[in-house]
Amino acid sequence: MGIATPYRLMTYFMFIGPREVFVAAYMPQIEEQEEQRPATPAPIAKKDSAKTVSKKWGISLSGGRVRNDATFIEKGSYQFMKQYRDSTDSRINTFNYSLGLRYIVSAKLRLHAAAGITRTGERMNTRQVVYKVDSVVVIGTNLTGSVPPIVRMTSATYYDIGNDSTGHLTNTLTYATFSAGLTCSILSLGHLDVGLQPSFTFNRLMRHNYHYFNDDSVMYFKAGRDMFATWVASAGLGLVAEYRISPSFSIALTPHYNRFIAHVYARPQATETRYGQASLNLSATWWFR
C-alpha cells in the first residue's frame, strides 16, 4: 500500500483530525517495513554444566604381558649366593589386568586411578649355593702354654632343595594393585595422542608360592605367609599412545616399567629380592557422553 493521496488527507482532516490523519496515512507503510525487518535470532541456550563435566570421565579396562626381573641382594662381603643366583636364575613372564577410572583435566593432562592384579617372581635351580662357617683352631709353635685361637672360616657349598640337584622351581607372588597416576601429553596428531605416564602403586599380597634362604639353618625353606610384607609400594613410568576412535571410545598401547621400592619380606633378611616389571599393556576406554 502506497502513501495517502492529498484528497484522502483532506477528508481525514475534516472528519478525524490531524493526528489521526498522520497515523492513518503512514501506518500501512510502517507495517510494511516491520514485515521486511529480519527477525532477531533467538538466544543460544547454554550447555548444561553437569553434562560438560561428565564428558571428562571415562572407564578403562587394561591388560598386558609382563616380563619380570629380580635383583638378588646378599648382605656381607662374600657374595657367594648372589653370584650363583645372578648366573642361574631366569626371568618369568606373567600377565596383569586392571579396571580404572580416568578424568580429563585439560588437553595436556589426564588423571587415572585403577585396581588390578599382577604377579611377579623368578625361576631358580633346586641346587643352590649357600655359605657355611667352619671353626678352625690355629696351632703354632709359638703358642705353647696358651689357649689356641679359634678362627671362623666362611666358604661356599651346595644345598639341594627337596633333595633335587637337577630340577627347577618358580617363585611367584600375586598382588592386588591399587594405582594412581597421570598422563602428560607430549605429541598430538589428529586422533592420536602420545604422552608420558608416571604412576605410583600400592601392592597387597594375595597369594604366594616361594622358597627363601634361612641364614640360621643355612638352608632353603618354603615360605609361610608371615614371611612377607602385606603391602609393598612400587613406582613406574610408561609411554602411552592413545587413539580416539570416536568421541566415546579410545584405545591405547603402553610400554611400561614398574619397580618395587623395597624388598618383599616382612623383616630384613640375610638375602633379599627386589622385583621390577616391564610390561606392554593394551587398554580400552569408554568416555561418558
pLDDT digits (tens, 9 = 90+) for 149-175: 666 667 788 999 999 999 999 999 999
The residue type at 33: Q
Looking at residue 34, its pLDDT comes to 56
Q: Are strands 192-209 and 168-189 parallel, antiparallel or unpaired?
A: antiparallel
| Under 8 Å between Cβ of 273 and 72 | yes
Task: Tell me the three state secondary structure of residue 62.
Answer: strand
CA-closest candidate to residue 73, choices 276, 274, 277 = 274
Q: 6-15 and 18-36 are packed helices; what angle lies between their axes, rounded to 10 degrees?
A: 130
Looking at residue 211, its pLDDT comes to 95
Segment 113-125, tens digit of pLDDT = 999 999 999 999 9
Looking at residue 49, its pLDDT comes to 38
Distance of CA 104 to the CA centre of its chain: 15
| Under 8 Å between Cβ of 136 and 148 | no
pTM of the shown model: 0.75
Helical ranges in 208-252 per DSSP H: none
The residue that leads in pLDDT, 197 or 7, is 197
Least confident of 12-16, 49-53, 105-109, 120-124: 49-53
Other CB atoms within a 10 A radius of the CB of residue 112 amount to 22
CATH of 52-127+162-287, one of 3.90.1150.10, 3.40.50.2300, 2.40.160.20, 3.40.640.10: 2.40.160.20
pLDDT band at 25 (very low <50, low <70, confident <90, very high): low
In this model, does residue 234 exceed pLDDT 50?
yes
pLDDT, the chain, mean = 84
Distance of CA 241 to the CA centre of its chain: 14
Q: Taking residues 42-55, what's their average pLDDT?
A: 48
pLDDT band at 217 (very low <50, low <70, confident <90, very high): confident
Least confident of 14-18, 185-189, 238-242: 14-18
Domain ranges of the chain: 6-36, 52-127+162-287
| Under 8 Å between Cβ of 252 and 64 | no
In this structure, the dihedral spanned by the alpha carbons of residues 277, 197, 285 and 118, taken in order and rounded to 10 degrees, is 20
CA distance 286 to 116: 18
Looking at residue 50, its pLDDT comes to 37
pLDDT band at 32 (very low <50, low <70, confident <90, very high): low
Instruction: Name every residue whose Cβ is closer than 8 Å to that of residue 265 and which is 6 or more positions away in sequence.
Output: 212, 227, 228, 229, 272
